[in-house]
Amino acid sequence: MLKVGLLGAGRIAGVHATAITSNPGSTLAAVSDFYPENAQKLADQYGSTARTTEEIIADDSIDAVLVATSTDTHSDLIEAATAAGKAVLCEKPVDLSLERARACREAAAKTGKPVMIGFNRRFDPNFSAMQAALTAGEIGKPELLSITSFDPAPPPVAYIKVSGGLFRDMMIHDFDMANFMMGEAPVSITATGSSIVDAEIGQAGDVDTAVVTMTYADGRICVIKNSRRAVYGYDQRVELLGSDGLLQAQNMLENTVVKSTTAGVTGAKPTYFFLERYMPSYAAEWGAFVDAVNGGGALPVTLDDGITALAMAEAATRSAQTGQPVRLEDV
């Protein structure tokens, strides 16, 4: 039984608390938050105990921590927890600074403790089935990957200002999805961004609409499209053209009713946002972590994967600023 400390008691921590307490291989030993009352509330909800982050890390009876704190704390907490002998599952991104994330990898590697990064979309039943079909050779060699990822509505500008920008905060999931499907990182990244949804996002130095084109050593291509606004709901689709066929993962809908009348054929909207769409993936992600740590097996997503995706976000940010393609090896 893995004894777990949950660091952070915000929005995503609630989802993780459910996953930890639902898994027969793990127990929620303690919860912390920068605001103790938040930790207490979440701990009460799940029959756990509120403690400080420092107390959890120093407690030798706790085997693992799940880092669900604000992004600017991730590298420090990965380093502290691994140094204290704990396994770590940390939310994305590893850091907003690629340099800091690389230093964190070095420090964590010295401890030999397992660190997994929370790219939950790899555990979405649709995308994992797609990747399994690809790996089984069902569409031959992948040639052209298209990822569409539109949020229903932009977050507050105050959030945008500390987010690290669309490429590090939002598209990072799609960069990891591309790596998951293509089996390797691209060579070159070209990005175009615009603040067409909300001028205030542009004034804050970010973009809300972006397209990235990535090329691979063997000539394969990936296109990622992001927008902070899709008025019909959370639009999350992946399409992969291979030498022997096509794989498509469509949106999850609010229901499966299709209405056909003389006016036309209509159906339900996509589920509203990430909590609705990806809920099963968070439980599967946690299950994979627990199985790997309890069983001593390899982690399905590593700190290296987190750093590769962050490097791609850095390359895309630079490309969008300069209008030039950026080679991944140059970041």
SS3 321: helix
**Which residue number is nearest to ligand NAD in terms of Cβ?**
10
Stretch that binds ligand NAD, among 6-14, 18-26, 178-186, 231-239 (CB under 6 A): 6-14
Whole-angstrom Cα distance, residue 234 to residue 179?
Answer: 22
Interacting positions 157-186 with ligand NAD (CB under 6 A): none
Q: Rounded to the nearest whole angstrom, what is the least distance from the CB of residue 91 to ligand NAD in the complex? A: 4
- Site membership for ligand NAD, residue 40 (CB under 6 A): no
The residues with which 148 forms a beta bridge, in sequence order, are: 225, 237
Amino acid at 194: S
H-type helices in the chain, by residue range?
A: 11-22, 36-45, 53-58, 74-83, 98-111, 125-135, 157-162, 166-169, 171-182, 199-203, 274-295, 303-322
Closest to ligand NAD by CB, 120 vs 227, is 120
> Which member of 3, 10, 279, 325 binds ligand NAD (CB under 6 A)?
10
- Site membership for ligand NAD, residue 120 (CB under 6 A): yes
> Which member of 18, 21, 27, 38 binds ligand NAD (CB under 6 A)?
38
Concatenated DSSP letters of 234-266: -EEEEEEEETTEEEEE---BS---EEEETTEEE
- Site membership for ligand NAD, residue 11 (CB under 6 A): yes
- Site membership for ligand NAD, residue 259 (CB under 6 A): no
Over the window 274 to 293, marking each residue x when it contacts ligand NAD by CB under 6 A and - when it does not, the resulting string is x-------------------
**Longest Cα pair distance anywhere in the chain, in angstroms?**
67
Over the window 287 to 326, marking each residue x when it contacts ligand NAD by CB under 6 A and - when it does not, the resulting string is ----------------------------------------
Strands 142-150, 258-261: parallel, antiparallel or unpaired by DSSP? unpaired
Stretch that binds ligand NAD, among 64-72, 106-114, 188-196, 213-221 (CB under 6 A): 64-72
The answer to whether residues 299 and 292 touch, using CB atoms and an 8 Å cutoff, is: yes
- The residues binding ligand NAD (CB under 6 A) are 7-13, 32-35, 38, 53, 68-71, 73, 91-92, 118, 120, 274
